[in-house]
Amino acid sequence: MEQAIEVRGLRKSYGDIEVLKGIDLSVERGSLLALLGPNGAGKTTTVRILSTLLEPDGGVARVNGHDVVAQAAAVRGSIGLTGQQTAVDELLTGYENLVLMGRLFRLRTGAARRRARELLARFDLEDAADRLVRTYSGGMRRRLDLAISLVTSPPVLFLDEPTTGLDPRSRGGVWETVRDLLASGVTVLLTTQYLEEADQLAGHVAVVDGGRIVAEGSPSELKRHVGAERLELTFADERALAAASRVLAAEEPRAGGPLALSLPVEHAKDVKRMLDQLAESGVEPDRLFVAEPTLDDVFLTLTGQPTGGTR
Amino acid sequence: MTTVTPPAPAGPSAYWALNDSRALIGRCLRHIARSPEQLMLMFFLPIMLLLMFRYLFGGAISTGGVSYVNYVLAGIITVAVTFNATATSVAVCSDLQEGIVERFRSMPVRGSAVLVGHVVAALVRHVISIAVMIGVGFLVGFRPQAGFGQWCAALGLLLLFATAVSWIAAVLGIVAKTVEGASGLSMPLVFIPYVGSALVPPSTMPDGLRAFAENQPVSHVADAVRALFTGAPVGDAAWLAVVWWAGIIVVVVPLAGRLFRRRAAG
């Protein structure tokens, strides 16, 4: 299958600081790849190079079959970009923003207007179409930003942390839009700091740290690699805790520590087995829940360092 | 959902440069009415200044044969032009800061079209502002002696001056790191007309200052426009003004383009 994005050995330095130390990526046409990593890992630099905003120091990158350096104009004609910073004009209305961008994407005025109305409807901004963007909420701005990057139905879309700073409802809205786009055959490269986001959207995740890809795979592969889910149990008192840790053969709990046990879970049936064992010996946990591995766990396992080192 | 495919970028590149510029000029023109700062610099400040000099200071300033309002209007217009330039610096700077230029760069847009949009919109502001100044001038006693040719020459000269100042303002906006910085950097531009013949005859100034005031380029514009308005002999002021400001345009326009590309890529 043809690759919509193909990157080999991408390098970039700012002065003495090597930001990208040889990134390899490939994204199949019509799929979504999530670049997952903390601030400063090199995600944005990668996106900026792929969207022709920055020239690489080394390596090759092709987007939609065009080289990002030698054929930058052709690349610009086939991509949409939503950056971390919303790039909308505060003193124009939502409608005017979309028409302007349509004209700059070389649509005829009539076509640009029709497209603007269509996108406003699709992104649930019809009521706000004729209001100045400076009166928009954060979520509305982000939706408009996303709409702008879709003015020409680009085959390849770059979304640089599209949900950072959004409330959960707006985040869900963006996710839904991204799923619709994928269903319509668009190729998406998304960067995120949230494992959950990668999990929700991506068929494929590449974990970036310190300018390198440190792991790659489907979200479930990655999580298996990182470590199992854990059953977290809390107890009413020390006696129950001690009894439970005997029954479940867990590590001896620390005296005076939290009244809690954390046990690795490989399969759903492990949970049932452990709860059965507790019930047989008459120990009742106070509360229980199953915790997923977090981005911190991913990084701890893959790089030996917690996230946010460069924040 | 329909799929929209842009026309292949056939056609001469000049056509697209024009298309992009037109779209971006439209954008900046819409900003004018929606930006209280631009409206203030366009109307309120120059009108206040005109009334202040006409009624507060004017009586104490001796301008020889001509009445003070006939003397000062040309000068007030040059001040209004430099006031307006502040808004251009701020607009260019905030574009570069707010990520919209980054978006334009990821699109098939000519980078220079962004600056052209700002400068042309600035010229529209200058023209409106100049028209208002002349109108208010008439209300407070301005009585020009100019014929049609002199009016055209005076307005042409002001347009050349305003174009050059707008490009300078664009450069200051690119160089400034912050919007506040842009506003600060353009302060000297606002101040220069005062150190000249715009508002008072330099004849009473100390020697060194007087030499500067009589020979700096804004004074040439004010002197030439004043002479054209009042029907006095223009002397060297007109061609000196043309040479100065045309020369400044030749230097500043390419500089603005280069600085803009470098800043936008950084």
State pLDDT tens for residues B175-185. 998 989 998 99
Regarding whether A117 and A17 lie in a shared domain, the answer is yes
User: Is residue A194 in a domain?
Assistant: yes
Number of structural domains found in chain A:
2
Regarding whether A266 and A169 lie in a shared domain, the answer is no
CB B93 within 8 A of CB B176: yes
Q: Tell me, what CATH number does A56's domain have?
A: 3.40.50.300
**Between residues A261 and B79, the one the model is more confident about:** B79
Cα–Cα–Cα angle for B178, B109, B8, nearest 5°? 165
Q: Could you tell me the two tokens for A92?
A: 């124009």
Q: Which of B19, B22, B99 sits opposite A83 (nearest CB)?
A: B99
Q: How far is residue A24's CA from residue A7's CA, in Å, rounded to a whole number?
A: 5
Mean per-residue pLDDT of chain A: 86
Whether the CB of B107 is below 8 Å from some CB of chain A: the reply is: yes
Q: Which of B2, B27, B99 sits opposite A118 (nearest CB)?
A: B2
Q: Does the CA dihedral A69-A74-A75-A81 come out positive or negative? A: positive
Q: How far is residue B188's CA from residue B86's CA, in Å, rounded to a whole number?
A: 10
Regarding whether A263 and A188 lie in a shared domain, the answer is no
Q: Tell me, what CATH number does A281's domain have?
A: 3.30.70
Instruction: Tell whether the model's pLDDT for residue A230 goes beyond 90.
Output: no
User: Is residue A150 in a domain?
Assistant: yes
What is residue A242's three-state secondary structure? helix
Regarding whether A232 and A153 lie in a shared domain, the answer is no
CA distance A198 to chain B (A): 24
Determine what percent of chain A is predicted with pLDDT higher than 70. 92
Nearest CA in chain B to A134: B34
Least confident of A42-46, A144-148, A267-271, B164-168: A267-271
State pLDDT tens for residues A190-208. 998 887 888 888 888 998 9
ipTM of the complex: 0.86
Could you tell me the pLDDT band of residue B227, with boundaries at 50, 70 and 90?
very high
Residues on chain B touching A122 (C-beta within 8 angstroms): 1
At residue A54, what is the residue type?
Answer: L
User: Is residue A299 in a domain?
Assistant: no
Least confident of A94-103, A232-241, B141-150: A232-241
Q: Which residues, including other chains, have CB under 8 Å from residue B132's CB and lie 6 or more apart? A: B42, B43, B46, B47
Q: How far is residue B173's CA from residue B86's CA, in Å, rounded to a whole number?
A: 9
**B26/A104 Cβ within 8 A:** no
**A104/B107 Cβ within 8 A:** yes
For residue A174, give its domain range.
3-224
What's the rounded mean pLDDT across residues B248-256? 96
Whether the CB of B87 is below 8 Å from some CB of chain A: the reply is: no
Q: Which of A76, A88, A132 sits opposite B108 (nearest CB)?
A: A76
User: Is residue A309 in a domain?
Assistant: no
Nearest CA in chain A to B100: A87
Regarding whether A176 and A107 lie in a shared domain, the answer is yes
Whether the CB of B108 is below 8 Å from some CB of chain A: the reply is: yes
Regarding whether A91 and A198 lie in a shared domain, the answer is yes
Looking at A169, A202, A224, which one is the last position of a domain?
A224
**A76/B20 Cβ within 8 A:** no
Whether the CB of A111 is below 8 Å from some CB of chain B: the reply is: yes
Residues on chain A touching B100 (C-beta within 8 angstroms): 87-89
Please count the other Cβ atoms lying within 10 Å of the Cβ belonging to residue B56: 9
Regarding whether A238 and A107 lie in a shared domain, the answer is no
Instruction: Tell whether the model's pLDDT for residue A13 goes beyond 60.
Output: yes
Chain B, 144-203: which have a CB under 8 Å from a chain A CB?
Answer: none
Regarding whether A148 and A64 lie in a shared domain, the answer is yes
Instruction: Tell whether the model's pLDDT for residue A138 goes beyond 50.
Output: yes
What's the rounded mean pLDDT across residues A208-218? 88
Residues on chain B touching A91 (C-beta within 8 angstroms): 30-31, 34-35
User: Is residue A307 in a domain?
Assistant: no
How much is the pLDDT for B172?
Answer: 96
Instruction: Tell whether the model's pLDDT for residue A309 goes beyond 50.
Output: no
Regarding whether A177 and A205 lie in a shared domain, the answer is yes
Mean per-residue pLDDT of chain B: 90
Classify each residue of B245-258 as buried b or exposed e, where b means 16 or more C-beta atoms within 10 Å of its C-beta.
beebbeebbeebbe
Regarding whether A282 and A240 lie in a shared domain, the answer is yes
Regarding whether A173 and A282 lie in a shared domain, the answer is no
Whether the CB of A92 is below 8 Å from some CB of chain B: the reply is: yes
Could you tell me the pLDDT band of residue A23, with boundaries at 50, 70 and 90?
very high
C-alpha torsion B200→B206→B207→B212, nearest 10? -50
CB B217 within 8 A of CB B241: yes
User: Is residue A202 in a domain?
Assistant: yes
What's the rounded mean pLDDT across residues A126-141? 92
Q: How far is residue A218's CA from residue A231's CA, in Å, rounded to a whole number?
A: 23
Residues on chain A touching B103 (C-beta within 8 angstroms): 81, 83, 87, 101, 148
**A152/B99 Cβ within 8 A:** no
Q: Which of B1, B35, B109 sits opposite A122 (nearest CB)?
A: B1
Residues on chain A touching B19 (C-beta within 8 angstroms): 103, 106
How much is the pLDDT for A290?
Answer: 84
User: Is residue A298 in a domain?
Assistant: no
**B27/A89 Cβ within 8 A:** yes
Looking at A179, A196, A224, which one is the last position of a domain?
A224
Provide DSSP, chain B.
-----PPPS-S-HHHHHHHHHHHHHHHHHHHHHH-HHHHIIIIIHHHHHHHIIIIIIGGG---TTS-HHHHHHHHHHHHHHHHHHHHHHHHHHHHHHTTHHHHHHTTT--HHHHHHHHHHHHHHHHHHHHHHHHHHHHHTT------HHHHHHHHHHHHHHHHHHHHHHHHHHHH-SSHHHHHHHTHHHHHGGGTTTSSS-GGGS-HHHHHHHHHSHHHHHHHHHHHHHHT---TTHHHHHHHHHHHHHHHHHHHHHHHHHHHHH-
CA distance B117 to chain A (A): 12
**A76/B106 Cβ within 8 A:** yes
Looking at A203, A224, A245, which one is the last position of a domain?
A224
**B16/A83 Cβ within 8 A:** no
Could you tell me the pLDDT band of residue A301, with boundaries at 50, 70 and 90?
confident
Provide DSSP, A27-77.
EETT-EEEEE--TTSSHHHHHHHHTTSS--SEEEEEETTEETTTTHHHHHT
Whether the CB of A54 is below 8 Å from some CB of chain B: the reply is: yes
Nearest CA in chain A to B21: A104
Q: List Cα–Cα distances, B32 to B39, B76, B91, B127, in angstroms.
A: 7, 21, 10, 13
Whether the CB of A77 is below 8 Å from some CB of chain B: the reply is: yes
Q: How do strand A212-217 and strand A204-209 relate by DSSP bridges? A: antiparallel
**B107/A76 Cβ within 8 A:** yes
Whether the CB of B118 is below 8 Å from some CB of chain A: the reply is: no
Q: How do strand A32-36 and strand A187-192 relate by DSSP bridges? A: parallel
Q: Could you tell me the two tokens for B106?
A: 């990821």
Q: Could you tell me the two tokens for A235?
A: 């107890």
CB B249 within 8 A of CB B167: yes
Q: How far is residue A189's CA from residue A50's CA, in Å, rounded to a whole number?
A: 10
CB A284 within 8 A of CB A13: no
What is residue A289's three-state secondary structure? strand
Please count the other Cβ atoms lying within 10 Å of the Cβ belonging to residue B83: 22
Regarding whether A277 and A194 lie in a shared domain, the answer is no
**A152/B16 Cβ within 8 A:** no
Whether the CB of A51 is below 8 Å from some CB of chain B: the reply is: yes
Q: Which residues, including other chains, have CB under 8 Å from residue B144's CB and lie 6 or more apart? A: B70, B151, B229, B230, B231
**A96/B5 Cβ within 8 A:** no
Q: Which of B4, B16, B20 sits opposite A111 (nearest CB)?
A: B4
Q: How do strand A32-36 and strand A204-209 relate by DSSP bridges? A: parallel
Instruction: Tell whether the model's pLDDT for residue A212 goes beyond 60.
Output: yes
**A105/B107 Cβ within 8 A:** yes
CB B100 within 8 A of CB B172: no
User: Is residue A120 in a domain?
Assistant: yes
CB A47 within 8 A of CB A160: yes
